[in-house]
Amino acid sequence: MQVMKICSTKCILVLMLVFAFCIAQSLGETVTCFDRKSKCFLKLIQCPKECPSTSPVNPKYKACYLDCSSPICTAQCRNHKPRCTSEKIRIEKLGGVIYDSYLSGQLSVARALGDWHMKGPNGIDCPLSAEPELEEVILSEEHEFLIIACDGLWDVMSSQYAATIVRKELMLHNDPEKCSSEMVTEASKRKSCDNLTVMVVCFSSEPPPKIELPKMHRRRSISVEGLAFLKGVLACLDPPFVGGDDIVFYFHGKRNEHFTLVSDHHLQINARFIGLRPMGRTRDYTWIQALGILYNSHMFSIEAIKSAAWDDGVDHLMFTYKGEDLVLHEGYPTTWDSQEGDIKIERTSEKNSVLITLKEVAEISINVVPVTKEDDRIHNYRIPKDDCFAHLEVQFRFNGLSSQVEGLLGRTYQPDFKNPAKQGVAMPVVGGEDKYKTESLFSSECNSCIFSKAQASDQQVVMM
């Protein structure tokens, strides 16, 4: 009898596990966003039944995807691009080759009508498929317009960038035909080498309303001394940081040298320091002049432009992406997105202020400011007349750092880190010059750095 009871209990347990597994399989996976500005922030969004998994076992199946920058908080099925994991597996199994994100080095899409020279005999699977991706969307008041375009447009701009431009233009003139023409012109300026056809369809006769973003409030547990310090943060002696442990600290650094702020397996942030040392002083006054970011396969920098005199009417920010100058037009709102959608830059004012978003990993708020005459008078910097020492005021917010993260700032996010900054003093200073000094903005080498280019290139987005 006892044996039968045990057997019954085990059978019930197995049945419950199988039942739970079947429910999980039928419901599919959930995805979420870690960007606090997203409407989907920390919301568990169910994947559609057409694509229940973010990484389907069958390469012919669609993958679930959530666009955290979209005003519509809905999981979708990922576009069929050769570089997408599921499409790449399907293509390579059928003997296809992907070169520089292009199928056979020719097409940026993995599914298309036409292009018969790349397809096999009728009824035989081949790398280029004509099987379409269909999706039904129920329109709501939040849907404003639709952009229909061929890959000549999507080769040179992300969907988010296109939507931002169209929305901005519709707010100005509310003419979808003119928007379509402007998108073609913009793609041509970006040196698109493919056919260009764009159609903008508006769902309302009224122009899109202006979006008012709520101001973000930060709650930190900071000491009284820290709060007193923050009052003078804009006129600080050295770059200040607020660590992952909410402790405020300074780092002296050295002028004309580079130091690693964050070093993780797929992320490295370096800073270039500028400064001066008046006669009789034992160390430099320093400020951060530039940031260099290595993120997955991306290489990005933002710099404060050296200026003899400060002019509020001039933009003092300069950007580079993968070694080339990146132009971010003045005006608000102006945005730029990397083609993969991993990096987003948006102006938070007409000039000299931006927010950089590293998808699901970090937000970096940046203002470029000068050392003012009042700062010079108070701190006796002895600023020369030919340089206002334009520099970056930087605030960081991180979401997905590993427990092994290093860097002057990154190490404060280690779970067992004990901050050496002395509390109760006006200027708690930490060291680290020997551990985190690096050769350049884009160097991944320092005595304690852990960034790996190989791991970064293979980094996959982790979904819940």
Distance of CA 78 to the CA centre of its chain: 18
Residue 134 lies in a domain: no
Question: Per-residue pLDDT tens for 159-214?
Answer: 767 787 888 889 889 999 999 998 898 888 877 777 889 999 999 888 887 654 44
pLDDT computed for residue 219 by the predictor: 36
Residue 112 lies in a domain: no
Q: Which residues of the chain have pLDDT under 50?
A: 1-26, 59-60, 212-237, 454, 457-464
Residue 100 lies in a domain: no
DSSP 110-126: SB-S--GGG--STTS--
Query: Which residue, of 78, 106, 139, is where some domain finishes?
Result: 78
Which helix or strand (DSSP H or E) is residue 13 part of? helix 2-27
Residue 42 lies in a domain: yes
- Structural domain total, the chain: 2
Residue 1 lies in a domain: no
Which helix or strand (DSSP H or E) is residue 64 part of? strand 64-65
pLDDT computed for residue 221 by the predictor: 38
Residue (of 35, 30, 140) closest to 75 by Cα position: 30
Please name the residue ranges forming H helices in 28-103: 85-93
- Grouping H, G, I as helix, E, B as strand and the rest as coil, residue 200 is strand
Query: Which residue, of 14, 46, 78, is where some domain finishes?
Result: 78
The burial of 7, by beta-carbon neighbours within 10 Å (0-12 exposed, 13-18 middle, 19 or more buried), is given as exposed
Query: Which residue, of 45, 78, 111, is where some domain finishes?
Result: 78
Query: What is the C-alpha to C-alpha distance for residues 296 and 320, in angstroms, rounded to an integer?
Result: 16
Encoded tokens for 294: 């290595």
Residue 312 lies in a domain: yes
Residue 148 lies in a domain: no
Q: Could you tell me if 54 and 47 are in contact, meaning their C-beta atoms sit under 8 angstroms apart?
A: yes
Query: pTM for the full model?
Result: 0.51
Residue 288 lies in a domain: yes
State which residues form the domain around 445. Answer: 234-276+283-457
Contacts of 114 (CB under 8 A, 6+ apart): none
pLDDT computed for residue 47 by the predictor: 81
Question: Per-residue pLDDT tens for 80-98?
Answer: 555 555 667 777 888 787 7
Encoded tokens for 431: 């060291």
